[in-house]
Amino acid sequence: MTAAQPVTESAAAQAFRLRRARTSDVAAIRRLVAPLAERRILISKESVAYYEAIQEFRVAETPEGELIGCGALHVMWEDLAEVRTLAAADDWRGRGVGHALVEQLLRDAVDVGVQRVFCLTFEVGFFERHGFEVMADQSAVDPEVYSELLRSSDEGVAEFLDLARVKPNTLGNTRMIKWLAGRARE
């Protein structure tokens, strides 16, 4: 098991640590996501979807073990992954939890070997400050890959592709993308 690691040097960050998610975190992740899903900020998912994706998740927790943030990196294609289900608890907003999670997920992206990381978000300024750009051309994949991605049953992928059946969930959020420099660590 990977040990929890300190997040940054800053005093604010000393109050929480990041670690890989465990199956026992699913209930707390759902509690974080539920109010955001109700407001259509994040996609609502069944518990089984979180268990199936648990290895994609990083969580932030207090020294007392309270889960105060989560985020996942979902690989979509050889060179493309998505930061998804990024959330910080309301009373922890603005204290670096989101920042630490995004930076960790970007390191995960380098490790897994993708070159581009995409997100669908209303938090445009936040992601811009982490190097993401609003996609001028909203289609990030060539037609051949697009047709392959259509085979996915994943709701997030469908939303990325802007399929008609998920349009009610998008509510005008913005597609953003970041090109990664550097290579996967050995």
Ligand X SMILES: CC(C)(COP(=O)(O)OP(=O)(O)OC[C@H]1O[C@@H](n2cnc3c(N)ncnc32)[C@H](O)[C@@H]1OP(=O)(O)O)[C@@H](O)C(=O)NCCC(=O)NCCS
Note the residues at the interface with ligand X (CB under 6 A). Answer: 10, 12-13, 36, 41-42, 84, 86-88, 93-99, 119, 121-123, 125-126, 129
Q: Which two tokens stand for residue 1?
A: 């098991």
Long-range Cβ pairs for the range 137-143 (8 Å, 24+): 138/162, 138/175, 140/80, 140/116, 140/175, 140/177, 141/77, 141/80
Nearest distance from C-beta of residue 80 to ligand X, angstroms: 16
Nearest distance from C-beta of residue 12 to ligand X, angstroms: 4
Instruction: Note whether 25 and 57 are within 8 A (CB).
Output: yes
- Nearer to ligand X (CB atom), residue 52 or residue 90: 90
Instruction: Note whether 86 and 36 are within 8 A (CB).
Output: no
Nearest distance from C-beta of residue 140 to ligand X, angstroms: 16
- Nearer to ligand X (CB atom), residue 90 or residue 148: 90
CB-closest chain residue to ligand X: 98
- Nearer to ligand X (CB atom), residue 167 or residue 183: 167
- Nearer to ligand X (CB atom), residue 29 or residue 98: 98
Residue among 85, 146, 80 nearest 115 (CA)? 80
Nearest distance from C-beta of residue 147 to ligand X, angstroms: 26
Distance CA 45, CA 130 (A): 26
